[in-house]
Amino acid sequence: MRKKIFMMLLLLVFAGCNEKRSKIEVIPNYKKIYLSETRVTERAKPIDKNFSSDMIKSFKQILQKVIKSENIKENDFFIEYILYINEKGKVDKISGDENEKFTNLILPVIEKWRFTPAKLNGKPVKSRKIIQADFILKDGMLVENKIDFEDTYFTELEKMPFPIGGMQGIQKKIKYTQAAIRSGIEGKIYISAFINKKGIVTKVKIIKGLGYGLDESALKAVKSTRFTPGKQKGKPVNAKVSIPIVFSLRN
């Protein structure tokens, strides 16, 4: 009996040693750990009353440094970060796709931010908060085209916005440019659209473009489209959505 048990243990050890380990990294699902603002009963709020204006000021100063040091020629800068705030109102982590240098410079500023923690049924919880700012570079000067801090555009809702007339309605507005036709350009353009509580598109931005004037055509089509507004718990809210626009010469 003892011999059988010993042999079974040996087989288990051998099997474990020969088991192939995947190189894929499993990371925590922070969306479940840090609740979105649409899932809490009380949102995290900045303690500083001048938080919004100070945040914009900090973003602007750092962005100017980055533009100067890297000789950036873009004329539209949309900054967006997700803050992961703990039960004590301190930022634990951030995520975003901003310029690496900009992120490194803004981190010491974010470390000083303090919030009243979000609450779920009266109990402090970890939460996520989106911060956004928009700037335009004109004649070498940064001009603020602010999206208010308290007027966040959400990406996760119970009911997302939908174009009135459907995607076909947007596609019908699309115009192929002669330059794109001559070059045989086809494919998809992806656009970020910011849609307010009334279903009006307040801002559009190219995520992935095709050039040849098609980007401008797609932006114009989306900007002129009305949407049914996004909703959370039955109430209209601001939303940010990604919209694919198809360009095909066969149609």
- Of 171 and 151, the structure prediction assigns the larger pLDDT to 171
Contact in structure between 144 and 137 (CB atoms under 8 Å): no
Cα–Cα dist 226/201, whole Å:
7
Contact in structure between 132 and 240 (CB atoms under 8 Å): no
pLDDT of 151 > 70? The answer is: no
Whether CATH 3.30.2420.10 fits 162-247: yes
Q: Each residue of 186-195: pLDDT tens digit?
A: 899 999 899 9
Q: Which of 246, 239, 204 is nearest to 225 (CA)?
A: 204
Determine the pLDDT at residue 225. Answer: 94
Q: Each residue of 19-67: pLDDT tens digit?
A: 567 889 888 888 889 998 888 889 899 999 888 888 888 998 999 888 8
Confidence of residue 149 (pLDDT cuts 50, 70, 90): low
Q: Each residue of 205-251: pLDDT tens digit?
A: 888 898 899 999 999 999 999 999 999 888 898 898 999 998 888 76
Residues with Cβ < 8 Å from 157, sequence gap 6 or more?
A: 38, 230, 231, 232, 237, 239
Tokens of 242: 């990604």
Q: Which of 151, 189, 194, 198 is nearest to 171 (CA)?
A: 189
Domain ranges in the chain?
A: 31-144, 162-247
What is the identity of the amino acid at 222?
A: V
Arithmetic mean of pLDDT over the chain: 85
Tokens of 197: 């509580």
Contact in structure between 110 and 54 (CB atoms under 8 Å): no
Residues with Cβ < 8 Å from 197, sequence gap 6 or more?
A: 229, 236, 237, 238
- Of 192 and 132, the structure prediction assigns the larger pLDDT to 192
Question: Which contacts (CB < 8 Å, 24+ apart) does range 90-98 have?
Answer: 90/114, 90/115, 91/115, 92/126, 93/30
What is the identity of the amino acid at 107?
A: L
Contact in structure between 197 and 152 (CB atoms under 8 Å): no
Contact in structure between 36 and 158 (CB atoms under 8 Å): no
pLDDT of 138 > 80? The answer is: no
DSSP labels for 96-130?
A: ----HHHHHHHHHHHHT-BEEPEEETTEEE-EEEE
Of 67-76, 90-99, 171-180, the least confident: 67-76
Determine the pLDDT at residue 175. Answer: 87
CA atoms within 13 A on the CB side of 249: 10
pLDDT of 130 > 70? The answer is: yes
Burial 27-56 (b: 16+ CB within 10 A, else e): eeeeeeebbbbebbebbbebeeeebbeebb
